[in-house]
Structure 1
Amino acid sequence: MQLPSLFSALGLALVLGLAPLWAHAHGDHGAAPAAAADASLPRFAATSDLFELVGVLEGQKLALYLDHAGDNSPVKEAQLELDIAGTRVPVTRVADGEFQAALSAPLAEGVSPVTATVAAGNETDLLAGEIDVHAAVQAPAGPAGPRKAWVAGAVAAVLAALAAVWGLRRGRTARVGGAA
């Protein structure tokens, strides 16, 4: 193996070994909203020709998002009444198309019917859906993602460098042995 090809091999080994680190470093650009961070949170969707309502349940807090079905824009100045499993749930408007509610007790496991009455301007509609609540499943504890990526990248870089050095020594031994 000639000297320029050794440097090429070492450079390639370094790039390949550090690739997992670069991929991890560029994968996260800020914190995701709490509801989006955990896709396992119970949620429901209720739609009609006029409106779309999505609810995300975290503990006993319910975040509600109300949009126009036609263009997905938030419904302005809407009033929302909510019933879950036969119990009326008080709703508070946070912003256009955004509401929140606090349940008086946790929902029972299983599927519960959800009914919402929407009044916005001259439009009134009744929406129905279901929310499916199951016990949280805990993931097994393991090494953290960033730490795992660093270890994998370091191991790959070291192995690639060792392979390049072994190839260089093997090439020198062949030249010295062949010349004698």
Structure 2
Amino acid sequence: MQLPSLFPALGLAVLLGLAPSWTLAGDGHDHGEAPAAAGGPALPRFAATSDLFELVGVLDGQKLALYLDHAGDNSPVKEVQLELDIGGTPVPVTRVADGEFQAALAAPLAEGVSPVTATVVAGADTDLLAGEIDVHAAAHAHAEPTGGRDELVAGAVAAVLAALALVWGLRRGRAARAQRLGGAA
């Protein structure tokens, strides 16, 4: 019995058998815990900036969360008056904390792009910020995930190749053994 001729085929089979795990790892993949995926589409938001201030708004239905920071150091703006206008309609704003505000829209925003302007008065600094908020229906909220299919196909092909290599190696080993034994199997 000559086992060394079987070792290259077994080595190839093992190598190809491990290939599916290689195909599942992407660039920078560290096999750590995967981050939680977002459950749905991102909420509409806008950003309006100037040399002095940065305003970010996040729309959730008819509720609007607003965050106002100093542009230079990203610290929340204290002691400030904020006036907001969306699509030509004034929106009343309520202060929640330093640099944090909330607003309730009287009606849902129309689908599409709406202009946003904010007037900021903080001490001696006064500024007008402008931006746009883009509201679209969640048309792709239930889109089928596309990642993973290519990796699964590559893994299946590698498994089939590994099985074929194993069968080939076993047959080759049997043929060599039969030759050594004088043709009797």
TM-score by length of 2: 0.69
Compared CA separation, residues 28 and 62, structure 1 to 2 (3 A): farther
Q: Indicate the structure (1 or 2) with the bigger Cα radius of gyration.
A: 2
Compared CA separation, residues 175 and 76, structure 1 to 2 (3 A): farther
- 5+ residue gaps, structure 2, are none
Does structure 1 residue 97 correspond to structure 2 residue 103?
A: no
Higher mean C-alpha displacement, 19-28 vs 50-59? 19-28
SS at the partner of 2:48? strand
Equivalent residue, structure 2, for 1:108:
110
In 1, the alpha carbon distance for the partners of 2:175 and 2:94 equals: 80
Deviations 1:73-124 (A, max 9, x none): 3323433221111222222334433333221211112222211122333322
Equivalent residue, structure 2, for 1:55:
57
Question: Which is richer in helix?
Answer: 1
Q: How does 1:26-41 map to 2 (within 5 A)?
A: 26=32, 28-30=34-36, 38-39=41-42, 41=43
Write the letter of the residue equivalent to 1:8.
Answer: G
Write the letter of the residue equivalent to 1:29.
Answer: P
In 1, the alpha carbon distance for the partners of 2:46 and 2:19 equals: 44
Deviations 1:1-51 (A, max 9, x none): 84443453344334321235566864723466x8xx734x33222111101
Aligned length: 175
Compared CA separation, residues 57 and 172, structure 1 to 2 (3 A): same
Compared CA separation, residues 97 and 149, structure 1 to 2 (3 A): farther
Please report how far the alpha carbon of residue 145 of structure 1 lies from its aligned counterpart in structure 2 after TM superposition. 6.2
Compared CA separation, residues 171 and 114, structure 1 to 2 (3 A): same
Does structure 1 residue 172 correspond to structure 2 residue 173?
A: yes
Identical pairs, percent:
59
- 5+ residue gaps, structure 1, are none
Residue from 128, 133, 141 that aligns with 1:126: 128
Equivalent residue, structure 2, for 1:158:
159
Deviations 1:38-69 (A, max 9, x none): 34x33222111101112222322222222222
In 1, the alpha carbon distance for the partners of 2:49 and 2:145 equals: 41
TM-score by length of 1: 0.71
Residue from 88, 94, 97 that aligns with 1:86: 88
Compared CA separation, residues 144 and 128, structure 1 to 2 (3 A): closer
Equivalent residue, structure 1, for 2:15:
12
Equivalent residue, structure 2, for 1:65:
67
Q: In angstroms, what is the RMSD of aligned CA positions?
A: 3.6
Compared CA separation, residues 11 and 87, structure 1 to 2 (3 A): same
